[in-house]
């Protein structure tokens, strides 16, 4: 019998870094569960592209990650379709300014849902299945989890929670499951939030003197999922050395 292919669930997989991670894992033989919230057209295009390369290798799931019931449901659909789960990539995120003085509870909920709440409850639901395959979790964190960005207090807090979740899960789910994070630097400019009018200044303070590429993050994710067999509880900076100057 043909050996079953490994399976990865990626949140926020329709575009940008999530889509690049999806293409990278798919190219090395992973079947994929691709989550999106609102990006249906981009998601359908990506799934069609991957299905053309290998039929029957993807499952597309739409869900609002702030709805608790949808989180274990994503895992249940994954197991129902593929029978296993080898990797969970918590990539979905939201980024918006929250200057002190005008922060609202709604902004807190909006930022914490994809950046901290969903990764926790997805990991909790996925844990038994990842234990069975001795799988891995990769959380997409941020340099701002440890070095605050002005006027983005709630986002920084949410990513700091995700960084601590990464460490806590590594300790709690080991030795069966490895849990690591990636803290990207200037790889893609945000679609919303900080306008980054100071892009050239940011590049100038980056040791490698250039912005990165989504593929840099995807390659790091592949390494942490497949190859870093003695690495857990680490947050890998993929930032061109920018953290040295912040």
Per-residue pLDDT tens for 182-214?
A: 999 877 666 554 555 566 777 777 777 788 889
Domain range for 235: 7-188+213-240
Position 205 in a domain: no
Do the domain assignments include residue 197? no
Asked about 155 being catalytic, the answer comes back as: yes
Question: So what's the pLDDT on residue 109?
Answer: 96
Is the pLDDT at 236 greater than 90? The verdict is yes
Mean pLDDT of 113-140: 98
In the chain, count of helices (H) and strands (E)?
8, 7
Burial string for 125-144 (b: 16+ CB within 10 Å, else e) reads: bbbebbeebebbbbbbbbbb
Q: pLDDT (tens digit, 9 = 90+) per residue, 18-52?
A: 999 999 999 999 999 999 999 999 999 999 999 99
Those residues whose C-beta lies under 8 Å from the C-beta of residue 176, and which sit 6 or more positions away, are 130, 131, 134
| pLDDT attached to residue 193 | 46
Residue 140 backbone dihedrals phi, psi, to 5 degrees? -90, 105
Q: Where are the alpha helices (DSSP H) in the chain?
A: 16-27, 40-53, 70-82, 105-112, 118-133, 153-173, 199-204, 214-222
Residue 206 lies in a domain: no
pTM tops 0.75, yes or no = yes
Long-range CB pairs of 195-202, under 8 A, 24+ apart, other chains included: 202/242
Does residue 2 sit within a domain? no
Confidence (pLDDT) at 206: 77
Q: Which one, of 54, 61, 53, lies nearest residue 34 by Cα?
A: 61
Total of domains in the chain: 1
Kindly indicate the confidence band of residue 1, based on its pLDDT and cuts at 50, 70 and 90.
very low
- 194 within a domain of the structure (yes/no): no
The active-site residue out of 30, 144, 155, 230 is 155
User: Would you say residue 200 lies in a domain?
Assistant: no
CATH number assigned to the domain comprising residue 114:
3.40.50.720
Span 150-184, pLDDT tens digits: 999 999 999 999 999 999 999 999 999 999 999 99
Q: What's the whole-number mean pLDDT along residues 103-129? A: 97
pLDDT for res 63: 97
Q: Is the pLDDT of residue 125 over 90?
A: yes
With tokens 């789910």, the residue in question is 173
Instruction: State the pLDDT at residue 187.
Output: 72
Only one residue has tokens 């709690």, namely 172
Q: List, in order, residues 6 or more apart from 48 with CB less than 8 Å away.
A: none
63 within some domain: yes
User: Is residue 207 in a domain?
Assistant: no
């Amino acid at each position: 019998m043909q050996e079953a292919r490994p399976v990865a669930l990626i949140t926020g997989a329709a575009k940008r870094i999530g889509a690049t991670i999806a293409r990278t894992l798919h190219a090395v033989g992973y079947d994929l569960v691709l989550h999106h919230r609102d990006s249906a057209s981009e998601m359908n295009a990506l799934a069609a592209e991957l299905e053309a390369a290998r039929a029957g290798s993807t499952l597309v799931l739409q869900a609002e990650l702030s709805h608790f019931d949808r989180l274990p449901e994503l895992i249940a659909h994954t197991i129902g379709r593929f029978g296993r789960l080898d990797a969970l990539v918590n990539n979905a995120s939201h980024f918006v300014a929250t200057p002190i003085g005008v922060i609202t509870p709604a902004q807190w909920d909006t930022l914490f849902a994809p950046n901290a709440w969903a990764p926790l409850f997805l990991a909790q639901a996925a844990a038994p299945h990842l234990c069975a395959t001795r799988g891995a979790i990769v959380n997409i964190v941020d340099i701002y989890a440890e070095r605050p960005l002005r006027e983005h207090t709630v986002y920084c807090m949410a990513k700091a929670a995700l960084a601590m979740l990464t460490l806590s899960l590594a300790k709690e789910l080991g030795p069966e499951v490895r849990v690591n994070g990636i803290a990207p630097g200037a790889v893609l400019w945000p679609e919303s939030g900080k306008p980054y009018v100071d892009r050239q200044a940011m590049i100038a303070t980056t040791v490698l003197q250039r912005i990165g590429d989504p593929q840099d993050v995807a390659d790091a994710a592949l390494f942490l999922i497949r190859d870093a067999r003695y690495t857990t509880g680490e947050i890998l900076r993929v930032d061109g050395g920018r953290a040295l100057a912040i």
